[in-house]
Amino acid sequence: MNLDDIITIPDPKLRERSKRIGHIDESTRRMARDMIAATLDWEASREHEFGAALAAVQVGQMDRLVVIRDDFDDKANKSFSVFINPEIVKAEGEPTEELEGCLSVKDIYGSVNRYPKVKVKALNLDGQPVRVTATGFLARVFQHEIDHTNGIVFVDRVDNPRKLFRLESDGKFTALNPTETPTKS
């Protein structure tokens, strides 16, 4: 897979709930590898962004699978972790508003409220249970990606169109013109 396999709004698949994965096999592992490749290919095409994570629905696969970069601070580190059937079991703290972007919403960022700490349970590629306590940016990423598995795109969580911005070619943000507002559900 490559960046061309990443679907963007208004593709209706992005608004559908993904199905749980009942059996992990080679096709599941291949899908995870392909998703990582697509994320890295997308990143290589974007001068001012990096690929933090991707949900299977973003490549048109309606499975509850997400890949999340292991190190957000080192773009040279291209390793990812795979989470199958991820779900937030606990959210803690006062939600904070920060800018988010998405590989499926080209050049648009928006201010989204997210919890600063979440506890997530999932399976790894070996089918073993995984529990993660995520804080900060990782907590935000988990919430964003799990939203994707539930048919929610970050723009659905932006409560005011004035909190939407376009990433310009020089890496700076400009306010989005109200006529450019991305399609909400």
* 22 is a domain residue: yes
What six digits make up the tokens of 120? 């997530």
**Domain CATH code at residue 11:** 3.90.45.10
**Inside any domain, residue 73:** yes
Distance CA 87, CA 103 (A): 21
How is residue 21 written in tokens?
Answer: 């994965």
Q: Which range of residues forms the domain containing residue 60? A: 3-93+117-152
Q: Radius of gyration over alpha carbons of the chain, in Å?
A: 16
112 inside domain: no
- How far is it, in rounded angstroms, from Cα 133 to Cα 91? 10
Q: How many domains does the chain have?
A: 1
Query: Is residue 144, in this structure, part of any structural domain at all?
Result: yes
Q: Residue 35 falls within a domain, yes or no?
A: yes
- The whole-number pLDDT of residue 185 equals 54
Angle in degrees, CA 107, 113, 177, rounded to 5: 35
Residue 123: enclosing H or E segment and its boundaries? strand 117-123
Question: Is 145 tagged catalytic?
Answer: yes
Any domain includes 168: no
pLDDT attached to residue 136: 97
pLDDT of residue 2: 92
Q: Does 158 reside within a domain?
A: no
Q: What is the pTM of this model?
A: 0.94
pLDDT digits (tens, 9 = 90+) for 133-172: 999 999 999 999 999 999 999 999 998 989 999 999 999 9
Q: What long-range pairs does 89-98 form, CB within 8 A, spacing at least 24? A: 89/119, 89/120, 89/121, 90/118, 90/119, 91/115, 91/117, 91/118, 91/119, 91/143, 92/116, 92/117, 92/118, 92/119, 93/117, 97/163, 98/140
pLDDT at 145: 98
* H-state helical runs in 50-135: none
Options 26, 145, 168, 180, the catalytic residue: 145
Domain-located, residue 100:
no
pLDDT in tens, the chain (185 residues): 999 999 999 999 999 999 999 999 999 999 999 999 999 999 999 988 999 999 999 999 999 999 999 999 998 999 999 999 999 999 999 999 999 999 999 999 999 999 999 999 999 999 999 999 999 999 999 999 999 999 999 999 998 989 999 999 999 999 987 667 676 65
